[in-house]
Amino acid sequence: MTALRPSMAALSRSMLRSGMSKQVPRASTILPLRPPVLGQLRGVRTSPFGRGNNNNGSSSGLGAGGSGSQAVGAQTAPVPSFSFPHEAPSADAPRSFSAPGGWTRALTSLGIIGGTALAANAFLNRETRDGPMDAFSREYLNSTFKYLAGGLTMTAGAAVALHRIGFSYRLMSANPWLVLGLGLATSIGGMIGAQTLEPGSPGKLLSWAVFNASQAAVLSPLLFFSPALLARAGLYTAGIVGSICYVGATAKDGQYLWMGGPLLAGVTVVALSSLAPMILPATAFRTLVATEAISLYGGLAVFSGFVLWDTQKILAHAKAAQAGYVRADPLRESIGLELDVINIFVRMVQILAMQQNGGKKK
């Protein structure tokens, strides 16, 4: 599951759709972004997460001791300071709750979240457990959610730090196969250590930190998107994950454990679709569009199902740990949920970016 986030090529295309389609040639949208491409972009606002931005929206430097311009043919154009530029919000977009349309936009978002929760409860939670959850299972589930919150906080904080020092720019300019290989090796290594070592051991916590750091490194280019878009994606992700976890926690024990096999088949298809942009030629445009749709929307459905399955699996492990069959390890349980949340969040970011760009073209 660690390899199922969209590839660097897919992420590049999403960034270009969200604000760069007019400045970058079509052929550039299917390859990882290179420094020469960035040097040709003018007149757009740089990411607020970067440093060295001047008043006209272009970068005046590449950080401490960096060069502030790059020659492109006979002209010299400013290069963003370790950040990919994106378009500023439209003039009529609400910037606060008090602005015209601000409360409407906020209430619409809350309505989407509430509707998701009600729909999930209505369609998936028709048969609830007979009695309240026992104290051990409730504490085990709560401990898992605490580790989940800690892991996500660690990943988000490390991603922001890496983005600020310019790691995102170098990552997007690197060979995508190298990024995929190193990211997989580091992430899987940290995940194995965090899941197999004894609970509470220093090595287990260190492996958990390595796992979250590897997730942050791969996810740091998401900070090229506008903070408003990331906030909306985070809000929607929280609504999806929260409502599905509630269903999994209140449904009958083992009611959705049968979903493991179908979800494994679905995640295999999504994984292959995610790798398609790195394998297929640029001329296979229709195929690339289809595979990206499967990766985004199919992945959103599959990982939402994994949230439900993982929640029920955690409760099943809590019963087994209470009986003494397995050791209690909430940290290990949280890793599966963390991967689900990350995959849902990344896909929500891309979907919102595509919708935003489609609205601007109308």
Position with higher pLDDT, 290 vs 39: 290
pLDDT score, position 77: 36
Residue 287 in domain: yes
13 contact partners, CB below 8 Å, separation of at least 6 = 29, 30, 277, 292
Q: Does a structural domain hold residue 215?
A: yes
Is pLDDT above 80 for 89? no
- Asked if residue 341 lies in contact with residue 237, where contact means CB atoms within 8 angstroms, the answer is yes
Q: Angle, to 10 degrees, between the axis of helix 8-17 and the axis of helix 260-279?
A: 80
Using the predicted structure, report yes or no on whether residue 81 has a pLDDT greater than 70: no
Q: Is 147 domain-assigned?
A: yes
For residue 17, pLDDT beyond 80:
no
Which amino acid is it at 163?
Answer: H
The residue among 28 and 201 whose pLDDT is bigger is: 201
Model confidence pLDDT, tens digit, residues 272-283: 887 777 777 777
The model's confidence at residue 102, banded by pLDDT at 50, 70 and 90, is low
Residue 40, domain member (yes or no) = no
**In which band, very low, low, confident or very high, does the pLDDT at 338 lie, cut at 50, 70 and 90?**
very high
Q: Encode burial over 201-218: b for 16+ CB neighbours within 10 A, e otherwise.
A: eeebeebbebbbbbbbbb
Q: In the chain, how many domains are there?
A: 1
User: Residue 316 is part of which domain span?
Assistant: 131-360
Query: Please, which pLDDT band fits residue 358 given cuts at 50, 70 and 90?
Result: low
Examine the pLDDT at 298 and tell me if it is beyond 70. Answer: yes
Residue with the two structure tokens 């996500």: 152
Reported as a pLDDT band with limits 50, 70 and 90, residue 245 is very high
Dihedral (CA of 151, 154, 159, 160) sign: positive
* Burial class for 25, CB neighbours closer than 10 Å (0-12, 13-18, 19+): exposed
Q: What is the pLDDT of residues 110-151, one digit of tens each?
A: 666 666 656 655 555 556 666 678 899 999 999 999 999 999
The answer to whether the beta carbons of residues 164 and 156 sit under 8 Å apart is no
Give dist(CA 24, CA 37) in Å, integer: 7
Average pLDDT of the chain is 74
Q: Is 255 helix (H, G, I), strand (E, B) or coil?
A: coil
In a domain, 42, yes or no: no
Tokens of 319: 């019963």
pLDDT: which is higher, 5 or 21: 5
* Whether pTM exceeds 0.85: no
DSSP string of 75-104, one letter each residue: EEEE--SSS---PPPPTTS--STTSTTHHH
Tell me which residue of 5, 9, 33 sits closest to 280, measured CA to CA: 9
- Spell out the residues 6+ positions from residue 129 whose beta carbon is closer than 8 angstroms to its own: 250, 251, 252, 253
Across 49-57, average pLDDT: 37
Which pLDDT belongs to residue 58?
37
User: Domain for residue 296, yes or no?
Assistant: yes
pLDDT confidence band for 10 (50 / 70 / 90) = low
pLDDT band (50, 70, 90) for residue 38: very low
Let me know: does 276 contact 291? Beta carbons within 8 Å.
Answer: yes
pLDDT of 94 > 70? The answer is: no
Task: Examine residue 290 and state whether it is found in any structural domain, yes or no.
Answer: yes
Q: Is residue 188 part of a domain?
A: yes
Side-chain-facing half-sphere of 12: CA atoms under 13 Å: 26
Mean of pLDDT values over 78-82:
33
